[in-house]
Amino acid sequence: MRYIWVLLVALLIVGCQDNAEVDDPQVEEPTTSVDEDKEEEEAEPDPVEEQQETEPEQVNEEVKTATEFESEPVNNQVINVTEARVIAEENLAKSIELMQDIQIEHSDWFGVEEESDAYVEGVKETKSALSNTISEAAVDEWAATYFEEFFMYNHLYKVLHPSQLNTHFELKEFTEDKFTLSFIQLGDEAFMGTEHYDLTYVKEGDQWKFNGYDSGQVNRDLNLSEEDLMHAFLNYETLERLKGELVDEQQHDGDKYLIMEYGDMLKAINSRTGVIDPFFLDDTES
């Protein structure tokens, strides 16, 4: 009986141990599950962090776009009236230089008759040279004009010299490939009256080229001032604008004359008509 009792106690103890071993995993299971969920939560991307990681790329893209936009006006900047004047002066001077080179090479063309073989050959070579300074649309007409001025008439009447761009400059029209420069050419009682010009340039490739002009006599009172005439003349060789200074004002035949000094030159200019009187100073000095 005592043996049976001991055996029952032993079986009871073993049964309790077995139950304890089974229950242990059940207790640990929730802990393991929580840890795994935590790891999964840590591994899952945070929407806020993901947004922060992508934001720098978006900002960089916006900065690049803004920079390109800001640089665009620089590349397509509208030139001002002074820049347009300089373009015209340098272009006209270059055309004259090219013609002077042709004169040196072909002195036998002086005085040729129009439509002669020499004339046709001369205009052809002139066109080839001036295609660097005159637009494709205008070069045929102006090649003949330049050749005639330099070889047949020996004067610059239709061909403009930079020194003829005097005052009242205005940029009347401007696009990316075209501009029109308006100005007044002061007259001279010994030769011609005051004229108004609209000088047009077009862009071919990356170069501005002469495209012709419209002109006409000025039939209005100009009321020129010292400021209008301060930079009306330039140095023939350097093309630099001379700075003028008003040294006197005089009345003559009801008109006011501005006596302007440009270096060692004195010019008497009618403020109403814009005509330079080459004899006025001699008359007033006598």
Residue range 150-176, pLDDT digits in tens: 999 988 889 999 999 999 999 998 998
- Alpha-carbon distance 87 to 210, whole Å? 10
Residue range 58-100, pLDDT digits in tens: 434 333 322 222 333 334 557 899 999 999 999 999 999 999 9
User: Count of residues for the chain?
Assistant: 286
Comparing CA positions, the residue from 153, 135, 130 lying closest to residue 212 is: 135
- Alpha-carbon distance 48 to 57, whole Å? 15
DSSP 143-160: HHHHHIIIIII-S-SSS-
Q: Full-prediction pTM beyond 0.75?
A: no
Query: How confident is the prediction for the chain on average, in pLDDT?
Result: 80
pLDDT at site 130 = 98
Regions of the chain where pLDDT drops below 50: 1-34, 36-43, 47-75
